[in-house]
Amino acid sequence: MSYTPLNLHSMFCTFFTANHLLTFFQSGHTINCITHYGYMKEDYELMAEYVHQPSSHKRKGATRAFAEIGGSKLAPKLHGYVFFSEVTNGTVVFVEIAGLPKYQPAHGDKAPIGPHGFHLHEKGSCAIGNPNDPFQAAGGHWNPDNQPHGHHAGDFPVLFSNDGHARMRFFTNRFKPDEIIGKAVIIHENPDDFRSQPSGDAGKRIGCGIIQPY
């Protein structure tokens, strides 16, 4: 069986092909992924649907959303995407990140670098501000129902780096995509302990992206 390469939007292709993460092929209406990491086909069909979606459909009220993540000076190679897809009773979150900093174990009073805290923050700004303590304009964790840290609606599992690459898919019943439009996705330098208040002592913010509908 022969396949014709699928021509994706440049910002999407640049991220994935530059990191040798996948090759998309199109056969009729089926998109087939050939990868080194065993990706789930439906994850990339979701991404492909975004890049082919007319701009008029990328509006508030949609059942899907995404954030393009960029790094600060603390992690200048960090980049990737987070996708939010509405399902029955909640949302499936799919994240693909490259360029995470190299893991460093804890030493004395110094926290380890990685696994990385990963949250939704309340304000839709990725302004760098102080380059040594970036993305403070994103505010605190998104916590619409005033829960203690560890149970915020915006508290996500940590990101584990595999030589700089992280991929994760999980379900949450705490929100639907339309509720988080305009919020920020933040990646932290250190792990989240899911206990310290108000934000888990996850350290500096190394990556940020604004959630947009599609």
Q: What share of the chain is helix, strand, coil (3-state, %, to 5)?
A: 15, 35, 50
Question: Do 40 and 89 fall within a single domain?
Answer: no
183-212 pLDDT per residue, tens: 999 999 999 876 665 554 688 999 999 999
Crossing angle of the two packed helices 10-18 and 41-52, in degrees rounded to 10: 150
139-195 pLDDT per residue, tens: 998 988 888 777 788 889 999 999 999 999 999 999 999 999 999 999 999 998 766
Question: Do 77 and 164 fall within a single domain?
Answer: yes
Tokens at 54, concatenated:
């007319």
Question: Do 146 and 176 fall within a single domain?
Answer: yes
Q: State which of 13, 28, 52 marks the end of a domain.
A: 52
Domain interval for residue 94: 57-213
Question: Do 113 and 206 fall within a single domain?
Answer: yes
Question: Do 70 and 6 fall within a single domain?
Answer: no
CATH number at residue 65: 2.60.40.200
- For residue 29, is pLDDT > 50? no
Question: Do 165 and 184 fall within a single domain?
Answer: yes
Strand partners, 65: 84, 213
The CA distance from 188 to 200, in Å, is: 10
Question: Do 94 and 147 fall within a single domain?
Answer: yes
Question: Do 103 and 133 fall within a single domain?
Answer: yes
**DSSP letters of 68-99?**
EEEE-TTSTT-EEEEEEEEETTEEEEEEEEE-
- For residue 11, is pLDDT > 50? no
Q: Which of 14, 54, 15, 61 is nearest to 212 (CA)?
A: 61
What is the model's pTM? 0.73
